[in-house]
Chains A and B, each alone.
Chain A
Amino acid sequence: METQSIQNNLEQREVLVKVKRYSKERGEYWQEYKLNVDRFTQMTEVLRKIKTEQDPTLAYRASCHMAVCGSCSMKINGEPRLACKTLALDIVKKYNSNVITLEPMDFFPVEKDLVVNLDDFYGRMFKVKPRLYPPKEFMEGTAEPRLRPEDQKELWKFAQCIWCGLCVSSCPAVKIDPEFLGPAAHAKGYRFLADPRDSIYEERLKILVDSSWRCTYCYQCFNVCPRDVEPVTTIKKTRSHTKFLKDKGEVARTGEKHVKAIFDSIKETGKLEEAKVYLTTYGLATAIRDMLYTMRNGKVGFAMIKEKKINELDQVRKLMGE
């Protein structure tokens, strides 16, 4: 068997790197650097070369250069990414241009150049009590904390969050809803919520459930996560625990009603009757208020559409486990 000769592919190519810079003294400005890269050059290496060979004043974070430490989060051609996990020429190819733009992550306040303030992010992570609280018997060694291989596999997927902040920087719900913990904290919280060896299940539920109903399922966290943690999946899974929560807040109650309304609607007609679901979820008072708004905007016709049942309703009900 032959490994292809990598050397033949080491030709250099010039790229133009535009960095959005910021300092207290100078404010915000763009700066350009030209340098040669080959097909293996990681964006962290691009930054290191700029810093050691051209401009030592450029500030950025980077540590492991192998996508396990989460330091080098930034926006590359507008996409939230880890610089180490991004090859310069892949970006050139993708955008069909030798210009690469680097900007600090969104959402977090910029301190200097590509360095942002992550205090808010860490605060969210610590809110979910990110550590196992094992039962006494484990700590005293009177019980052996075995774990089934399939549980290990499931938990490990969600435990691989590297605290990089990319998902939060790209999350629209976090930006408008201060009560939403954000995708990373949910992944972290669920990793412990689902651990059969943890002893503070109730407390975790109380922290996580209300927030989990504030996610808008836009899947941005799913798209940008460099470790494929799928925070949105942990949010879905957390919602399914709502039924175990004793004192539900307003948001969780509405959420539960919403899910039930959808279920009933599909069971009844095989379709999602938006108007009816809306009415059941939010109640008459809210629905009337919103109806007035809808009327003012001339959209009331949509809300009044009468849905017919579908023909093969039995099969749908079978799928739903009837």
Chain B
Amino acid sequence: MDKLVYDAIVLGGGLAGLMSAHEIASAGFRVAVISKVFPTRSHSSSAEGGIAAYVKGNSDPNDDPNYMTYDTVKGGDYLVDQDAAELLSIKSGDIVEIMERWGTLFNRQPDGRVALRYFGGQTYPRTRFVGDKTGMALLHTLFERVSGLSVDFYNEWFALDLVTDERRVVGAVAMEMKSMEPYLFLGKAVILATGGMGMLYAHTTNAYINTGDGYAMALRAGAALKDPEFVQFHPTALYPSDILISEAARGEGGILRNNKGERFMARYAPKKLDLAPRDIASRSIMIEIREGRGFPGNYVGLDLTHLGESYIKERLALAYEAAMNFAGVDATKEYIPVRPAQHYYMGGVDVDITGKNGDLQGLFAAGEAACVSVHGANRLGSNSLLETLVFGRETGQAVVSYLKRAEGSSSTDIQKEAEKIVNDAYSFVKSETGVHFGEILNKMRNVMWEDVGIFRNEDLLKTALSEVEKLRAQVKNMYVTDKSKVYNTEFFNALELRNMMDLAVVIAKAALTRTESRGAHYRTDYPERDDKNWLKHTIAYLKADKVEIGFKPVTLTKYQPEARVY
């Protein structure tokens, strides 16, 4: 197997990966970005509503990074590490200014300064935006910027696994999808910036490529996931195609209505109404539907009609377009049909505020792949784009200082290890008969949606756990019918399924373990938050076929837990 040697290897070409690569390359180190898609096709492009930021001299005069930290901590139901949230808030202005200088075409105020709007859970409006294609605008700016640096891009390369040496990461094995040729990438540091995992769920707003590859690679290499039970459901996915209708729609004044035309959020969040955080809005919608106040087909209406045609078409262009193209609904005249769908994963590779993992030396993670944790039990809208860039940058800088003192060479036979990784990848799919990935995939997505979804309880979770364990065992008998040596996407889909199943068992087990309700993790059998027993992070390892659960304290600085009322 051929070797490619770098200082650092970034897996993933979305916002977090590109920002860290930018920092590493700017410091003069050799960095490779490996992505299974061309970078502008990363899921970052789908982020819509905006990026939260306190910008000095261009924010609400009453706003302050402390309010931003507080909103983030409260929104995350106090599972947030407060030092991380502080860092996120303090650096938010810098990040928006950097992207602005690099050419992101943020919407403007009349005087030419960057405009802002409200998002759920914000005390003051602080979301910066480019229409409702903010993620696309940021991703293109950053990709185009980094493409002008000396960064080696490996686009449409599929990473199989991390290569480790004792307790250290020394690289990764990746396969060129076009030639199916595996290569060993050697580097002193590896950054997982592989994004989220929406494809685990039958209903998701995520891209098809979000299959949790980074989480699974970390687990298999012996690193922990933090808070894996926390899966965010977005309240407003378009019915029936699950395309995201941005939270900006509610931020700009959109109203959720049931089949009687009632503004039902008045019952669930009397003060914040439709701008209540996502977990609360999602559960409220599900309750309305369950109690018979949804529309036939099981959805509720998102009413924008009072905003006026020109405002909708300028500020909520994508929402308007999606409703029109995919549901045949004219949002200037009718309610948009919406229901909740999986949207974001708060859990992730366990890292500190520099993006460093404590289990494996040289392993870093950033963006949705990581759990820093700034989102705690529930992420606030427009904090994810912010996280990718702030912690992409922090992680990149941490890798730079790590590279300056890291030692080279290793003792074990890396080549052998790499060959084992390739053989493992092939072995579970090399039988001549068995099941196809599609059969297992569809079953898993339904189990996760039905039993590890918006409402959870012991019975559901036990069923789910035994079901996903069974499916995970079946993966070992999977077989790939395509023997082609060019873009064998069946093989990569099978590998993605292996990754998803490794993650599914960890999520189900962690959800079963946490006997309380907090943020997006809602247990009908334990409906209250229990700070006495559960104000702590879940730490999960996957050892052979066993999920091992441990705990870690939450970092509190200024804010003591209080009841979360909106």
Instruction: Kindly identify, within residues 323 to 341 of chain B, every residue whose CB is under 8 Å from any CB belonging to chain A.
Output: 325-329, 334-335, 337
The interface residues of chain A lying within 8 Å CB-to-CB of B482 are 56-57
Q: How far is the CA of A162 from the CA of B111 in the complex (A)?
A: 29
Whose C-beta in chain A lies nearest to the C-beta of B489? A59
> Given A61-B41, A163-B38, list of 11 further CB < 8 A pairs?
A7-B295, A57-B481, A57-B484, A64-B41, A64-B207, A87-B325, A130-B144, A145-B101, A147-B112, A148-B112, A152-B108
Contact B493 A56 (CB under 8 A): yes
- By the criterion CB–CB under 8 Å, are A1 and B112 in contact? no
Query: Quick one: CB contact mask for B83-113 with A, threshold 8 Å, 1 for yes?
Result: 0000000000000010011110111111111
Judge whether B261 is part of the interface by a CB distance below 8 angstroms. yes
If the complex has contacts A52-B441, A131-B144, are A71 and B41 also in contact, measured as CB distance less than 8 A? yes
In angstroms, Cα B243 to Cα A148, docked, is 32
Say if the beta carbon of B40 comes within 8 Å of chain A. Answer: yes
Report if A300 contacts B (CB, 8 A).
no
With both chains docked as a complex, state the minimum distance between the C-beta of A41 and any C-beta of chain B, in angstroms.
Answer: 8
Q: Is the CB of B524 closer than 8 A to any CB of chain A?
A: no
- The answer to whether A10 and B297 touch (CB under 8 A), given A40-B241, A56-B480, A64-B207, is yes
Footprint of B on A, CB under 8 Å?
1, 3-8, 10, 23-25, 39-40, 42, 44-45, 48, 51-53, 56-71, 85, 87, 111-113, 115, 118, 122, 126, 129-132, 134, 138-139, 141, 145-149, 152, 155-156, 159-160, 162-163, 192, 195, 197
Evaluate contact between A162 and B40: CB separation under 8 angstroms.
Answer: yes
B267 — which chain A residues lie within 8 A by C-beta?
none
Can you pick out 21 interface pairs between chain A and chain B where the beta carbons lie within 8 Å of each other?
A3-B335, A4-B329, A8-B296, A42-B326, A51-B489, A51-B493, A57-B482, A64-B43, A64-B46, A69-B40, A71-B37, A71-B38, A131-B102, A149-B108, A152-B107, A155-B105, A156-B131, A159-B140, A160-B133, A162-B45, A162-B136
Within 8 Å of chain A (Cβ to Cβ): is B490?
A: yes
Taken together as a complex, chains A and B put the C-alpha atoms of A71 and B35 apart, in Å, by 14
By the criterion CB–CB under 8 Å, are B326 and A195 in contact?
no
What's the Cα separation between A141 and B97 when bound, in Å?
Answer: 9
Q: Write out the residue numbers on chain A whose beta carbons fall within 8 Å of the beta carbon of B305.
A: 1
Name the A residues within 8 Å of B441 (CB-CB): 52
**What separation, in Å, do the CA atoms of A89 and B380 have in the docked complex?**
37
A6 touches B297 (CB 8 A): yes
Residues of B with C-beta under 8 A to A148: 108, 112
B46 A68 Cβ-Cβ under 8 A:
yes
Q: Would you call B109 and A149 a contact (CB within 8 A)?
A: yes
Max chain B C-beta neighbours (<10 A), residue from A23, A45, A113, A118:
A23
Q: Chain A residues near B209 (CB, 8 Å)?
A: 63
Minimum distance in angstroms from B100 CB to a CB of chain A: 6
B536: Cβ under 8 A from any A Cβ: no
A5 contacts B487, CB within 8 Å?
Answer: no
A170–B151 Cα distance when bound, in Å, is: 32
| A148 to B, closest residue via Cβ | B112
Contact A131 B337 (CB under 8 A): no
Chain B residues within 8 Å of A56, by CB: 436-438, 480-482, 490, 493
Interface centre among B141, B243, B487, B488 (most CB of A within 10 A): B487
B287 at the interface (CB under 8 A from A): no
State A148–B296 Cα separation when bound (angstroms): 46
Which residues on the A side are within 8 Å of B110 (C-beta)?
149
- Closest Cβ of chain B to A40, distance in Å, is 5
Taking a contact as CB atoms under 8 Å apart, the answer to whether A138 and B101 are in contact is: yes
Please, how many angstroms separate the alpha-carbon atoms of A195 and B42 in the complex?
Answer: 26
Determine the chain A residues whose CB is within 8 A of the CB of B43 once the complex forms.
63-64
- The docked-state distance in angstroms from the alpha carbon of A145 to that of B303 is 37
Structural contact, A70 and B40, CB atoms closer than 8 A: yes
B261 interface neighbour in A1, A70, A112, A113, Cβ under 8 Å:
A1
Chain A residue numbers with a CB within 8 Å of B296 are 5, 7-8
Question: Are A163 and B437 touching (Cβ within 8 A)?
Answer: no
Asked whether B137 is an interface residue with its Cβ less than 8 Å from the other chain, the reply is: yes
- The residue on B at minimum CB distance from A129 is B148
Cα-based distance from A134 to B325 in the complex (angstroms): 38
* Beta-carbon contact of A147 and B438 below 8 Å: no
Q: Are B102 and A134 in contact (CB under 8 A)?
A: yes
A71: B residues at CB distance < 8 A? 37-38, 41
Whole-angstrom CA separation of A4 from B323 in the bound complex: 13
**Interface residues in B132-164 (C-beta closer than 8 Å to A):** 133, 135-137, 140-141, 144-145, 147-148
B38 touches A62 (CB 8 A): no
Q: Which of B423-478 contact A (CB under 8 A)?
A: 436-439, 441-442
- Interface: B420 (CB within 8 A): no
- Does B38 lie within 8 Å of A118, measured CB to CB? yes
Inter-subunit contact B112/A159 (CB<8 Å): no
- Whether B485 sits at the interface, judged by CB under 8 Å, is yes
For A130, list chain B residues within 8 Å (CB).
Answer: 144, 147
Cβ-defined contact, B41 with A52, below 8 A: no
Interface centre among A6, A69, A111, by most chain B C-beta atoms within 10 angstroms, is A69
Q: In whole angstroms, what is the CA distance A59 to B144 when docked? A: 28
**Chain A residues whose C-beta falls within 8 Å of the C-beta of B295 in the assembled complex:** 3, 5-7
Q: Is the CB of A23 within 8 A of B102?
A: no
Interface centre among B111, B133, B481 (most CB of A within 10 A): B133
Is B328 in contact with A126, judged by CB distance below 8 angstroms? no
Give Cα A155 to B131, complex, Å.
13
Assembly CA distance A4 to B297 (angstroms): 11
Please name the residue on chain A nearest to B133 by beta carbon.
A68
Q: How close is B94's CB to chain A, nearest CB, in angstroms?
A: 10
Asked whether, in the complex, the Cβ of A24 is within 8 Å of the Cβ of B484, the reply is: yes
Instruction: Output the nearest chain A residue to B131 by Cβ-Cβ distance.
Output: A156
Is B372 part of the contact surface with A, judged by Cβ < 8 Å? Answer: no
- Chain A residues near B325 (CB, 8 Å)? 67, 85, 87
Which residues of chain A are near B97, meaning CB under 8 Å? 141
Cα of A147 to Cα of B104 in the assembled complex, Å: 11
Query: Within B516-533, which residues are at the interface with A (CB < 8 Å)?
Result: none
Nearest chain A CB to B91 CB, angstrom units: 15
Min CB gap B474→A, angstroms: 15
Inter-chain contact A39/B328, CB cutoff 8 Å: yes
Q: Give chain B residues whose Cβ lies under 8 Å from the Cβ of A122.
A: 38
- Docked-complex contact B106 and A152, CB < 8 angstroms: yes
- Shortest CB-to-CB span from B165 to chain A, Å, is 34
Task: Assess whether A42 is in contact with B241, with CB atoms less than 8 Å apart.
Answer: yes
Contacts of B297 in A (CB 8 A): 5-7, 10
Cα–Cα, bound, A291→B108 (Å): 56
Are A156 and B105 in touch, CB under 8 angstroms?
A: yes
A81 to chain B, nearest CB (A): 12
**A112 with B326: CB separation less than 8 A:** no
Chain B residues with Cβ below 8 Å from A146 are 108, 111-113
Name the distance in Å between B239's Cβ and chain A's nearest Cβ: 7
Complex CA distance for A93 and B243, rounded to whole angstroms: 23
Q: Which of A1, A58, A147 contacts B108 (CB 8 A)?
A: A147
A51's partner among B141, B148, B335, B438 (CB-CB below 8 A) is: B438
- Is A3 a contact of B301 with CB atoms below 8 Å? yes
Contacts of A6 in B (CB 8 A): 239-240, 295, 297, 299, 327, 337
Return chain A residues, CB-CB under 8 Å to B490. Answer: 51, 56-57
B543 adjacent to chain A (CB < 8 Å):
no
The residue from B144, B241, B487 contacting A111, defined by CB atoms under 8 A apart = B487
Tell me if A197 and B103 are in contact (CB < 8 A): yes
Residues of B near A197 (CB, < 8 A) are 103
CB distance B329 to A3 under 8 Å? yes
A5: B residues at CB distance < 8 A: 295-297
Interface string of B19-53 (1 = CB under 8 A from A): 00000000000000000011011110110000000
B40 and A131 contacting across the interface, CB-CB below 8 Å: no
A-B residue pairs, 8 tightest by C-beta: A52-B438, A132-B103, A7-B297, A146-B112, A57-B482, A149-B108, A131-B144, A3-B335
Contacts of B141 in A (CB 8 A): 131-132
The complex places the Cα of A57 from the Cα of B299 at a distance, in Å, of 35
CB distance from A35 to the nearest CB of B (A): 13
Most chain B Cβ neighbours within 10 Å, of A24, A59, A141: A59
Q: What residue in chain A is nearest B334 (Cβ atoms)?
A: A3
The distance in angstroms between the C-alpha atoms of A45 and B296, with both chains bound, is: 23
Smallest beta-carbon distance A2→chain B, Å: 8
